[in-house]
Structure 1
Amino acid sequence: MTRALAVPVARTLPWRTLGGAGALGLLLAASPALVASGEATPWQALTLLRAAALTGALGLAFLLDDPARHPTTPVPVGRAHRQALRLALVAPPAALWWTAVLLVTPERARPPAGAVTVEAAAIGALTLACAAAAVRWSEGPRPGPAVASALLAVAVLAPPLVPEDWALFVAPGDPRWAAAHERWAWLLAAGAAAWALCAPEPVRLRVRPRRTSRPAGTA
């Protein structure tokens, strides 16, 4: 069943949006190498990597868009299965893209790859969870624009409001670096759990018809 669905699902994926977001993220990460000096400070490189992760997440916000959500004939697999299939089709090129983003970052200024990858994965997981929630609680076939707008709003407004003790966007030399990435790991787990809860179709209560008593003497 999964193999039979793979090709139709792949055709409905927003490849242009994902490709555009990926190209922009790659360009951001490679920008220090494209200028004349080719130099970047560790903080600049980290900021560009975080910007690249955000652009990738913006593309991921459109992953669950499906213009044919309502007109198509129901398929014998659940929504969670179909969403997982979409993610499975996108995951390999996304992993290659993130590897390329890390490689084009100047080596001398490159932050710890594992820690930054956790940040990017957490942002992607939370974005996917928001998209799944939008699909679950709305009837619109294209939740992507609303999810992308919300992601941008949070990325701009949330960091200044977070207390310093709970800061997430810290520099590698900051004493809070390890603690911040523990929080990123928790956010990654929370995003995955939220997607698991929101991906299935909502359970609809079935109202059983009331039995009416038959008049005496009827068959």
Structure 2
Amino acid sequence: MLGVGDKYVGVRALLPPVWRTLPWRVLGAAGGLGPVLAGAGRLMPRAGGTTHGLMVLRTGALALALGLAFLLDDPARHTTAVVPTRRVVRTGLRMALVAPLAALSWTAALLLVPGEMRPPVGAVTLEVATLIALALTGAMAAVRFTDEPRPGGAVTVSLLAGTVFALLLPGRWELFSEVDASDWAAAHQRWAALLTLTLPVGAALLPEPIRRYRARAWAHR
């Protein structure tokens, strides 16, 4: 049985190959779009107020989530599937490596939006957290139920389709409310409920199926 030190060494040994297989170009482009849009807004007339700032931040949030949908893309997936390190560790390591990039991207976008155009920070951060959770949960579902080494493309299509659907929802179920709308608070209660539902689903999808794990354990005896 492996001790804590052995597990730490194993995780540390995984860092270089996991780092190399991350889709850094996609992640960099997605993470850079929000700050670029917010920075460009500083060069334009401050018309539109919080409506313009909200549109910029929501665009950046969606771009960041779409980029993170590619997080579990791994051309060598069928090779790494037989390593003794569990999927939950490999996936957790990927998330840990890109978390600073995502946090930096979102923080920069928020700070670059002029104060008088910036919508409530907590509310829009809830939106981006939910979109990211949906993207990662979709990626984990694709990895769990398919053998596709690069499921990110299909996940982005699903996330875009879901976003378009959300934009068409009637007022009672609206998610993308305006800051000065009467249902702004109610809309973000729905965002919070969606995030609360998504997180446990993602957590349940994170480990490998029991049958597959048993088969791998038997193969390594």
- 2:41 counterpart residue number: 32
* Structure-1 residue corresponding to 2:195: 188
Q: CA RMSD in A?
A: 1.8
Rg comparison, structure with higher value: 1
- Rounded to whole Å, the distance in 2 between the matches of 1:18 and 1:112 is 26
Q: Which residue of 1 aligns with 2:25?
A: 16
When structure 1 is superposed on structure 2, of 62-71 and 1-10 the one drifting more is 1-10
Deviation at 1:173, TM superposition (A): 2.0
The normalised TM-score by structure 2 is: 0.86
Deviations along 1:65-85, one digit per CA (max 9) or x if unpaired, are 000001347222211221111
The partner residue of 1:198 within 189, 202, 205 is 205
Unaligned runs of 5+ in 1: 208-219
How far apart in 2 are the matches of 1:73 and 1:29? Answer: 40
Q: How do residues 1-219 of structure 1 correspond to structure 2 at under 5 angstroms?
A: 1-35=10-44, 37-72=45-80, 74-160=82-168, 162-204=169-211
Partner of 1:210: none
Counterpart AA for 2:32: A
Identity of aligned residues (%): 53
Matched letter for residue 202 of structure 2: W
Query: Does the Cα contact within 8 Å between 2:68 and 2:136 map onto a contact in 1?
Result: yes
1:38 Cα deviation after fit: 4.5
Q: Name stretches of at least 5 consecutive residues in structure 2 with no aligned partner.
A: 1-9, 216-221
Q: Deviations over 1:116-155 (max 9, x none)?
A: 0010000000110000000111001000011111111221
Q: For residues 62 and 54 of structure 1, what CA distance do their matches in structure 2 show? A: 13
Range 70-79 or range 49-58, more displaced: 70-79
- Give the paired residue count: 205
Aligned partners of 2:112, 2:206: CA distance in 1, in Å? 35
